Structure 1
Amino acid sequence: MASTAASKPPSVGVVTQTMASTAPSKPPSVGVVGIPFSKGQPRGGTEHGPALLRDYGIVERIQDLGNKVTDYGDLTLDAVEDDKPWNKVKNPRTVGQANRKVSECVSKITRDRQIALTLGGDHSIAIGSIHGHAQSCPDLVVVWIDAHADLNTPLSSDSGNIHGMPLSFIVKEMAPYTARLPGFEWCQPCISARDLIYIGLRDVDEAERAYMTECGIASYSMQEVDKYGLPDMMERVLKTVDPTGKRPIHLSFDVDAMDPEYSPSTGTPVHGGLTRREMYYIAEEIAGTGRLSCLDVVEVNPSLGTEADRKKTVRTTVDVVSHFFGKRREGNVSADFKMPLPQK
């Protein structure tokens, strides 16, 4: 069942430098789902992210690149009444219930051999997204692009915000250090620490750093980005999590991975982040593998900042996402393009 989906993950096709290769032989199929959710953190607004990304043409941009796109609309996610905190953890049942729906949806999309594009929502939705993806592609690898490690547990978190904990619920080696929350009875760890790698870290809590070291989770912080440069770093990233070059990739992209100059309308901005140009390169390299199988886009919060901040954040995000789905700065040639010739 699952091994079939994993052995031939969807492909985004555009790989080499030759003119013929700029148009994929078979356009990939993409399933888009909105996850209007903000209960994993204290600020309202991320629930409006999916609608705003659609308003700025994210679906059309992907279609225009030759991809077949099915938009499944937004999930209906209700708050659980009287959702009392567990220890300091806020909204555990609401977050757990929402992520169960996300898991079921992403599992269906990827089983149907579509690349799942999840439009968040805060980063707590990655619990369900990765869990659901792992049901259809159990040999997936996770590339987590973020300023933050999001590896706190219900026991180590100072804030109690679950958007800072998603990986602690799904990494198997984290089980001895965490606690199971009410509402999360369905969620079992589904990836190994060696199958996860970070890009862009620059705000990591002490407990998270200790967990990363203890569990052997690889990371490329902004220090390593500066040290190695993107071409060398991306080669290292892909060889670290998938030296065989065959496994499906789950990429979870928090817009705060970018410097606030490019994504100011987000809840936890941290200066010194990735530039738009650097994100283009990362996206093009991931697309070039032909193994992107699920992409989370999270933490766009249109309620934060000015109107100009909101427009900049959304436009940059849509531009970056288009590069994950085949847009190349060298130019693209569509599958149905015909060279204009002089009439005889």
Structure 2
Amino acid sequence: MKKFNRIATTCISYTRRLSGSIKVGVLDVPFEKGQDKSGVEIGPKSIREAGLIQKLIECCGIKDVKDYGEVKYLNNCVNAQVLNMKHYDDVISCSRELSDQVEKVIRDGRICLTLGGDHSIGIGTIHGHMKAKTEDLAVLWVDAHADLNTNRSSQSGNIHGMPLAVLAKELDYYWPPLPGADWLKCKLSLRNLAYIGLRSLDPYEHVIMHNLGIAHFDMFDIQRYGIDAVVSAALDKMDPDHNKPIHVSFDIDSLDPLEAPSTGTPVRGGLLLREGIHIMTAIYKTGRLGALDLVEVNPKIGNQSDVDRTVTAAMHIILAAFGQNRRLVKPESNDLIPPNNNK
């Protein structure tokens, strides 16, 4: 037991040292046009109002948190349309501005925390991360859905189900010309991608994932092998040499609706909050997190209790990514523990 306490104390002290050296930049993207349900655009505000920045400082020991504010964009592709891609002009315009903003945050030497908004913002956040660092970027997509549809395979036309297909270099030939997207030059290799939490895939996504050998870990894998083994396997698959910058795009619907009910496309049988926390703690410990997206919190869905539960879950995920340690450690002094006079 003494040995365990020494290890635990060492771990928390390492966590505090690492957190103290981290610099974070926070971006809001109140964007909802990648899907049909209103409300997701106020997700960032709800998370902020729960005390995000103060908790990053107090709970994670981060001394340098810079607020980059809200991403605003001009629609530079007015009336540009692509078959079966709803609100294409807004999505591509927002993505371009967001890419530039994420690049700026990372070039400032900060981990970029982006609060969405719907998951179409992943186009801009990952592209900006690649511009700032490298196209050889490792991406962990934590989601109930694969978001790998093209405009020809999507059943809804909602672009929040397409961001990874837009970014993937292996899928370039599946797309028609995309107006206003000449800036989208950095492309993600799908060999650098891993999924955790999948449980709702379209037929086309099944085919693409298996044909291209994309690393994916569904809820069956988590139940069978445990979350720790799954996270380790995902890291090994997307980054075998363990030296790439890591981008995590975390959709709150990866959690079970009992944990996070206020989201637009819930799917039962999802991750427990403790499993989501474990994923982000493991990523934090790599020391290579470069950017985190937290998306699809929709405060207009459910009652106030549902909203509070969802926002609280989002907060726990974010704080775990930046070093909040939930493990018990030995107190500095036994004087803090009152004697048990009943013995």
- Normalised to the residue count of structure 2, the TM-score between the two structures is 0.89
Instruction: Report matched runs for 1:67-106 at 5 Å.
Output: 67=62, 68-77=64-73, 83=79, 85-106=81-102
Pick one of 32, 36, 50 that aligns with 2:44. Answer: 50
CA shift for structure 1 position 280: 1.2
Q: Indicate conservation of the 8 Å contact 2:43/2:116, yes or no.
A: yes
| Residue 61 of structure 2, aligned match among 40, 63, 66 | 66
Matching residue of 1:159? 156
User: Could you say what secondary structure the match of 1:23 adopts?
Assistant: helix
Show the counterpart of 1:336: none
Identify if the C-alpha distance between structure 1 residues 306 and 78 changes in structure 2 by more than 3 Å, giving closer, same or farther.
farther
Separation (CA, whole Å) in 2 of partners of 1:296 and 1:153: 22
Give the drift of 1:287.
0.7
Q: 1:281 and 2:278 equivalent? A: yes
The 1:133/1:94 distance shift into structure 2, 3 A limit, reads same
* Residues 284 and 323 in structure 1, CA contact (< 8 A), matched pair in contact too: yes
For 1:214, the aligned partner's letter is N
Q: 1:107-186, aligned counterparts within 5 Å?
A: 107-138=103-134, 139-186=136-183
Instruction: Provide the C-alpha distance between the structure 2 equivalents of 1:266 and 1:80, rounded to a whole number of angstroms.
Output: 29
Gaps of 5+ in 1: 1-15, 334-338
Which residue pairs with 2:215 in the alignment?
Answer: 218
Residues 179-258 of structure 1 mapped to structure 2, 5 A cutoff: 179-258=176-255
Q: CA deviation at 1:27?
A: 2.2
How many angstroms does 1:77 deviate by? 3.5
Does residue 41 of the first structure (1) align with residue 35 of the second (2)? yes
Q: Does 1:28 align with 2:22?
A: yes
The CA deviation at 1:208 is: 0.9
User: Once the 2 structures are TM-superposed, how far is the Cα of residue 83 of structure 1 from its aligned partner?
Assistant: 3.5
Question: Residue in 2 aligned with 1:326?
Answer: 323
Are the aligned partners of 2:138 and 2:239 in contact in 1 as well (CA < 8 Å)?
yes
Distance in 2 separating the partners of 1:52 and 1:150: 25
The alignment-based identity, stated in percent, is 42
**Amino acid aligned to 2:133:** C
RMSD (Å) for aligned C-alpha atoms: 2.1
Q: Relative contact order (C-alpha < 8 Å, sep 6+): which is higher? A: 1
Secondary structure, aligned partner of 2:318: helix
Q: Is the Cα contact below 8 Å between 2:130 and 2:186 reproduced in 1?
A: no
Q: Is the 8 A contact 2:78 2:89 kept in 1?
A: no
Larger Rg: 2
Distance 1:273 1:255 in 2: 10
SS in 2 for 1:95: helix
Give the Å deviation of 1:62. 1.0
Q: Bigger CA drift: 175-184 or 151-160?
A: 175-184
How far residue 86 of structure 1 moved from its aligned partner, in angstroms, is 2.3
Task: Specify the code of the residue in structure 2 equivalent to 1:299.
Answer: E
State whether residues 137 and 245 of structure 2, in contact with CA within 8 Å, keep that contact through their aligned partners in structure 1. yes
Q: Is the Cα–Cα contact under 8 Å of residues 40 and 297 in structure 2 kept in the other structure?
A: yes
What do residues 262-299 of structure 1 show as CA deviations (whole Å, max 9, x unaligned)?
11110000000000111111111111111111000000
| Pair 111,82 (structure 1): closer, same or farther in 2 beyond 3 Å | closer
Greater Cα offset, 206-215 or 290-299: 206-215
- Cα displacement string for residues 212-250 of structure 1 (whole angstroms, at most 9, x for unaligned residues): 122221100111111211121111111111122211100
Deviations 1:29-65 (A, max 9, x none): 0000000000000111111011111000111111111
Q: Which amino acid aligns with 1:101?
A: E
Q: Secondary structure at the match of 1:69?
A: strand
Give the Å deviation of 1:22: 3.4
Aligned equivalents of 1:17 and 1:240: distance in 2? 29
Aligned-pair CA distance for 1:308: 1.1
Distance 1:180 1:226, change over 3 A: farther
Mapped contact 1:35–1:119 kept (Cα < 8 A): yes
**What is the SS of the residue equivalent to 1:203?**
coil
> Which aligned runs of 4 or more in structure 1 are off by greater than 2 angstroms?
16-20, 77-86, 178-185, 339-342
